[in-house]
Chain A
Amino acid sequence: MNCAEFQGLLPEILDSGETPESKVHIHSCPECSDLYVELREISQAAVQLRAGEEPNQRVWNLIEIALRQEGLIRDTAWAGPTLLPTPARRWRGAWLAPIAALLLVMTSGIAVLQHVSQRQPLAALNQASTIEAGAAEDQELLNTIGERAPALRATYAVDLRSIDSYIHNAEDTLKSDPTDEEAQRALMGAYEQRAMVYELAFDRP
């Protein structure tokens, strides 16, 4: 076997392994030997690229929003005793708190943050003023998006409406039972989604 023959068969040799003839040639020709070894190493190293990077958190947030909009996620937030929060859900509420608080700062000012930091029940907050401030913020955001990327305005409007509807549901539940922890967590989750929509809008003009 000469170099041309070896290199012609190289794709098959790499896929299926060396033949006795190719083995002889590899041992007798340094150039073809280098070529074979290096192509094999490239192929083997490729697996390292299989799962490298982690997607940004917003990817999941957008997926979750879409799943809720399409009704694929069952609303378990305040459905009754059979759907009481799992330990994971209880735990999740803890990490949502600062994010929700951050959003509340955006919509209602420092006074609300102080309120949250004193660990008052969410139902005790002045919901009406928060919602009004939130609606004004939403409108401002939509106007800004309308100027920067008009094609995206409708998508943002739908997302915000969907999240607001979720917030209203949670608030209604809290009005009838201010101690409903599950509804409180659901409300904070919805606030988090709003925060993410805002983050997305400012991240990706």
Chain B
Amino acid sequence: MTEADRPQDARISEAEAIERAKSGDSDAFRVLYDLHKRRVYSLCLRMTANTAQAEDLTQEAFLQLFRKIGTFRGESAFSTWLHRMAVNVVLMQLRKKNLPVVSLEETLEGEEDAPRKEPGAPDRKLSGSIDRLHLQRALEELPPGYRTIFLLHDVEGYEHNEIASMIDCSIGNSKSQLHKARMKLRTLLRASKTEAAGKR
């Protein structure tokens, strides 16, 4: 069912839905799910780049949320609480699978620190040409550690101190990895643009 299919429930405010969910109202759970499913699922999908895993993690994140909803006292925004929980679920899963939450790609160290320009290569500036689809594809090609930091900072909007505490690294490391992630994305996006131009 889509949000549009639920005109009555959609009128319930988030605060009301939280209170009703605390007493076990199934419609309230559904309202909360509908309000936040896209953002949570998108986060899980970007982090894992795998639809089945993203669905499992979304399910787990919401289940954890609903199990703990009785303890929610409203000191922080509900969405903040939920998204933090979703991030933790994903990070825990990545750790279980021994996937790096901080980049271990030593070979990339320093490579992205300076812009490279190959002699004679056409100058494919990105300016104004970064669309969602290209960025999404480039993101999928990023090493998992870089991807995590980029997603947490630039997509989800967490600060470096929050990221450092989430993934147990230093603030400096978080900043450095973010910069490398952006540099790598730039390289990937430029390559993609050059490839597209070559096909024309």
Contacts and interface: CB of A to CB of B under 8 A. Distances in A.
Nearest to A74: B24
Contact of A47 (B136, B155, B178, B185): B155
B101 interface: no
A198 B62 CA distance: 22
A34 B154 contact: no
A35 interface: yes
A49 B182 contact: no
Interface stretch (B33-41, B92-100, B161-169): B33-41
A45 B130 contact: yes
A63 B8 contact: no
B35 to A, nearest CB: 11
Contacts of B63: 63, 66-67
Contacts, number: 144
| Chain B interface SS verdict (over half) | helix
A11 B175 contact: yes
B72 to A, nearest CB: 14
B9 A88 contact: yes
Chain A interface: which size bin? 35 or more
B78 interface: no
A42 B156 contact: no
A50 interface: yes
Contacts of A39: 182-183, 186
A147 interface: no
Interface in B133-171: 135-136, 139, 150-151, 154-157
Contacts of B121: none
Interface string A55-83: 11111101110110010111010000000
B1 A95 contact: yes
B132 A74 contact: no
Nearest to B23: A74
B5 A95 contact: yes
A50 B62 contact: no
A41 B55 contact: no
Main secondary structure on A side of the interface with B: helix
Nearest to A87: B8
A49 B29 contact: no
B41 A55 contact: yes
B8 A91 contact: yes
Contacts of A62: 59
B84 interface: no
Interface string A75-105: 0100000000011110110010000000000
A50 B42 contact: yes
Contact of B179 (A10, A32, A64, A89): A10
B71 interface: no
B68 to A, nearest CB: 11
A7 B114 contact: yes
Nearest to B114: A7
Interface in A86-129: 86-89, 91-92, 95
Contacts of A70: 67
Nearest to A66: B63
Given A11-B176, A34-B127, 10 more contacts: A31-B115, A45-B132, A50-B39, A58-B55, A63-B63, A70-B67, A72-B67, A73-B26, A74-B24, A95-B5
